[in-house]
Chains A and B, each alone.
Chain A
């Protein structure tokens, strides 16, 4: 089991973390809001983006076959992996075959699913994160706490100290521009010398065999342009049918994620270096990772989980995430999307507590650019989780609740009794205990609303 409750408590106790998160979330929400100020445009674009994702998923097996065919025709080598372990093995085999000892890496959440860095290091390959945020995280020996802004939980003082400690010749500075310059200098030559580049994929286009990568820093372009080998890893759900489909998704992705009309670079890769090209990698590999996605796809109730385009807006707007941060979830994907995705790809045994870590307020659903019904899926997962548990105090209590609310006589009786003696229930009673540990015990009104209304002369509503 993850221990979200315990982690959340620790996170809430850190004033620094809460300050760092609050500042970041406020900024991201304001920037996104400004992008979608035109409600009509937002609703039409969102409908189109949702349509594209649903259509792609409806045709997923055909589109994957088509993608394999077009990529292969373009000389991109396609590999399939059912599990992260298989995908790691494929990456390592490609690196060994090419004698690559150092890898430069662009930000990729699927590679986090694979725990690729740890795996390659165990096998003697040096792997270097090159996105500034990921570089900070790697130097700190941590994992990303946000899928778009990996080091959002850190402030400049912490990064200044980290750079001074870990980067040779780096002087202490809290200036973001100087810190960025230190990272630029440290990584620049590494791009030129690396044996391979590893990146994720934002969208893969089936009709043209094109991999689209979205970024601001240029490290993704460096990693896919200078090393002799490029390995792209993607979840099988990222395929879209046509190039045209990319346009609405790209607009929704960048505006939702960081409030930018477009990122600095949109990189469309359709082949390795061709005979007459002067640069670009000589080999491009695409690894299609399943890791539970095909099972999610087979389940109509859970399938919309796969519509997600990983913009992170759900996290930025989540009252839970924005207070505890990503690490409390002990998972690759934190926040609302993580709460529905992690139990599905890694099981209830590890992440059974995540679907419960939500008030179902629906802020995530309101901002999701492709209408992933996150709260519906949370409820669905909670119900399934209850079934695996069998009879419990909680399930008995809710069954009682259901019966009571379906029977007016019983409802009157129970509210009457609770009004009279509810106050006598001790705060340490089962079920109440978890609530009263950090809150005052709820007080039962002596008279129910129904009774007050009747006494006030309202016989019918």
Chain B
């Protein structure tokens, strides 16, 4: 059935009057305002805060201490993370094993599901971010499974300030996404939300209720730490 359906559909499309070829459009409008690093950081922060995310700033070396010091305040007892990501390795550090409350993603999701559903938070890195729309670019993989940013009620994301692009179009072209997309890439622009009931905005439907962004100032111009 599938073969014949394919042939019939493509046959009809091939047989129909061929539409005139359309030239490529002008993508200039997608460039947005490039801006300096500081400007991009500010625009990213304003946009994602408008979508109800919390933004903090610290240093690339200092974030594990920054995070550990605030878990209590944020009401997080157990935070899941990927052991093999750069953030995971930095978090475990010299200790060689995860501290109390740190829950490394073990094995496949089938074995880790119950643990993950019981965690308060998930920690992920980001491939970058987008200033115009206030979006995180999540690039999942073996080191950082996609459920980490999805299942726990709080998502904590690390963003290097040097990786903030002006627009989505710039991010995908400058970073050459077309040459190698992961199983799942996701843009995240705030905590999960809905307005299905009388257009009243409510946060925390099926995804995380809270999104905490930690900016890591890794380039000059973005040094507006705490």
Contact = CB atoms under 8 A, between A and B. Distances in A.
Interface stretch (A108-116, A219-227, A405-413, A433-441): A219-227
B184 A58 contact: no
B5 A297 contact: no
Contacts of B29: 41, 44-45, 48, 248
Contacts of A279: 108-109, 145-147
A5 interface: no
B99 interface: no
B206 A55 contact: no
B155 to A, nearest CB: 10
A278 B140 CA distance: 10
Contact of B10 (A28, A64, A221, A272): A64
Contacts of A41: 29
A153 B51 CA distance: 26
B186 A221 contact: yes
B173 to A, nearest CB: 6
Identify whether the interface residues of A are mostly helix, strand, loop, or mixed. Answer: helix
Nearest to B200: A176
B109 A132 contact: no
A218 B2 contact: no
Interface residues of B, number: 80
B197 interface: yes
B187 A298 contact: no
A299 B196 CA distance: 37
Interface string B136-147: 000011100111
Contact of B187 (A210, A262, A290, A303): A262
B8 interface: yes
A262 B133 contact: yes
Interface in B119-170: 132-135, 140-142, 145-147, 150-151, 167-169
A58 B20 contact: yes
Interface stretch (B68-76, B175-183, B216-224): B175-183
A444 interface: no
B205 A132 contact: yes
A58 B196 contact: no
A263 interface: yes
Nearest to A79: B2
Contact of A156 (B14, B112, B197, B206): B197
Given A54-B22, A242-B178, A268-B186, A298 B197 contact: no
A318 interface: no
A155 B205 CA distance: 19
A261 B168 CA distance: 11
Nearest to A40: B29
A40 B177 CA distance: 29
25 contacts: A23-B199, A27-B199, A44-B28, A51-B26, A55-B23, A58-B19, A132-B205, A133-B194, A149-B199, A151-B196, A188-B117, A210-B181, A221-B186, A225-B146, A247-B169, A251-B168, A268-B185, A270-B185, A274-B183, A277-B142, A280-B145, A280-B146, A290-B12, A297-B16, A300-B17
Interface of B: 1-2, 5-6, 8-10, 12-30, 47, 51, 105, 107-109, 112-113, 117, 132-135, 140-142, 145-147, 150-151, 167-169, 172-173, 177-178, 181-200, 202, 204-208
Given A61-B13, A130-B206, 14 more contacts: A44-B28, A64-B9, A156-B198, A208-B177, A236-B9, A244-B178, A264-B192, A268-B186, A270-B184, A273-B183, A280-B140, A280-B183, A290-B5, A297-B13
